[in-house]
């Protein structure tokens, strides 16, 4: 269950395993913490510190979003897990140039495979022309070859960024003009599609962060994204694998939902945002998407959907196995005896 707090003058209290939301002193139905998958908070409600402590203890991810779009969102969760051998291996590999390149390639190659899912939807729902589809498939194939030949993380980032640009260019050609999508933009997003993509990526990042903490990784030290104070780069690395799932979700939601001029609001400083009236529709659909996340096989074919959390755990396990291989191949051979 996802709980979204977006009402003004709301007070949130904790008692006996439950959250109690009150507006102007009026009590509402208690929400058991053990039934929460995620808490999303808009604006500035009054929240007891006991709420944050018990949410963290229960490993319930929290996203705090500003209604005005600034400052950037904040995320809360439980502290680092205590699997020290795994975290030490992660740090050793991040310090090894060749191992870091191979890990960065590992993440991006999985993202490239994921494009097959939204591409198939566009082909069916929007009657994507064969020329446009073949052009992007050729670009993806070329990027895949370049990825295998890349010798630095910077080169890999450039290859990934170029294909992402090609992908969003494709969307500009097929999405209806009334959505005003002219390519990817953010901080702030300037059209409905970018607004939904940004929100979807934020929700995904919260799920990714929760999983890699639970599985024992250090979210602050990644391989693909550059380290930066306050930036959890490993969470961003893992998120790349699932980004195309958000793209597919947004495309499907736009197609299936009756949207009008009141579905979004626009401000110069804040960009385009979902209106309060439309947010419940989005979060309800997102909750369903998390339970039936689209996935692909190793050959790029669509397979039966599975819960997002299950897929995240599976990818962290595969990453750990690959890291162990890199440790044996690169780090162990160079370690002093």
pLDDT tens by residue, 83-101: 688 899 999 999 999 999 9
Q: Where are the domains of the chain?
A: 2-76, 84-334
Q: Greater confidence, 332 or 135?
A: 135
pLDDT tens by residue, 104-159: 999 999 999 999 989 989 988 887 788 888 999 999 999 999 999 999 999 999 99
pLDDT tens by residue, 16-37: 888 888 877 676 778 888 777 7
Residue 298 has a pLDDT of 53
Task: Answer yes or no: is pLDDT of 337 > 50.
Answer: no
Instruction: At 261, give phi and psi (nearest 5°).
Output: -65, -20
Task: Answer yes or no: is pLDDT of 102 > 90.
Answer: yes
Which span out of 64-68, 122-126, 282-286 was modeled with the highest average pLDDT? 282-286
Task: Answer yes or no: is pLDDT of 80 > 70.
Answer: no
Q: What is the mean pLDDT of the chain?
A: 85
Report the CATH fold assignment for 84-334: 1.20.120
Measured between alpha carbons, how far is 19 from 14 in angstroms, rounded to an integer? 5
Residue 38 has a pLDDT of 76
Report the CATH fold assignment for 2-76: Ribosomal Protein L15; Chain: K; domain 2 (3.100.10)
SS3 sequence, the chain?
CEEEECCCCEEEEEECCEEEEEECCEECCCEEHHHCCEEEEECCCEECHHHHHHHHHCCCCEEEECCCCCCCCEEECCCCCCCHHHHHHHHHHHCCHHHHHHHHHHHHHHHHHHCHHHHHHHHHHCCCCHHHHHHHHHHHHHHHHHHHHCCCHHHHHHHHHHHHHHHHHHHHHHCCHHHCCCCCCCCCCCCHHHHHHHHHHHHHHHHHHHHHHHCCCCCCCCCCCCCCCCCCHHHHHHHHHHHHHHHHHHHHHHHHCCCCCCCEEEECCCEEEECCCCHHHHHHHHHHHHHCEEEECCCCCEEEEECHHHHHHHHHHHHHHHHHHHHHHHHHHHCCC
Q: What sign does the CA torsion over 171, 177, 179, 180 have?
A: positive
The answer to which of 71-75, 98-102, 159-163, 180-184 has the lowest mean pLDDT is: 71-75
């Amino acid at each position: 269950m996802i709980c979204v707090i977006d009402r003004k003058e709301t007070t949130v209290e904790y008692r006996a395993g439950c959250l109690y939301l009150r507006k102007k002193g009026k009590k509402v139905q208690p929400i058991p913490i053990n039934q929460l998958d995620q808490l999303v908070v808009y604006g500035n409600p009054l929240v007891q510190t006991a709420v944050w402590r018990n949410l963290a203890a229960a490993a319930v991810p929290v996203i705090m979003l500003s209604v005005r779009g600034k400052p950037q969102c904040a995320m809360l969760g439980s502290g680092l897990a205590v699997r020290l051998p795994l975290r030490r291996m992660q740090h050793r590999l991040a310090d090894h140039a060749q191992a870091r390149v191979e890990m960065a390639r590992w993440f991006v190659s999985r993202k490239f495979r994921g494009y097959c899912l939204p591409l198939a939807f566009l082909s069916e729902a929007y009657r994507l022309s064969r020329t446009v589809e073949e052009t992007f498939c050729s670009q993806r194939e070329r990027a895949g070859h370049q990825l295998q030949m890349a010798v630095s993380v910077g080169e890999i980032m450039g290859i990934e960024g170029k294909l992402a640009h090609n992908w969003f260019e494709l969307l500009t050609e097929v999405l209806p003009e009334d959505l005003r999508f002219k390519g990817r933009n953010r901080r702030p997003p300037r059209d409905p599609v970018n607004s939904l993509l940004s929100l979807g990526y934020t929700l995904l990042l919260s799920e990714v962060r929760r999983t890699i903490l639970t599985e024992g990784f250090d979210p602050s030290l990644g391989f693909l994204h550059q380290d930066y104070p306050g930036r959890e780069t490993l969470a961003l690395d893992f998120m790349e694998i699932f980004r195309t799932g958000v793209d597919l979700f947004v495309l499907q939601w736009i197609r299936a939902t009756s949207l009008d001029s009141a579905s979004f609001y626009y401000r110069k400083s804040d960009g385009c945002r979902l209106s309060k009236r439309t947010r419940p529709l989005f979060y309800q659909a997102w909750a369903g998407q998390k339970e039936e996340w689209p996935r692909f096989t190793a050959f790029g074919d669509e397979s039966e959907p599975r819960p997002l959390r299950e897929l995240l755990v599976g990818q962290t396990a595969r990453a750990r196995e690959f890291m162990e291989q890199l440790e044996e191949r690169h780090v162990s051979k160079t370690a002093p005896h």
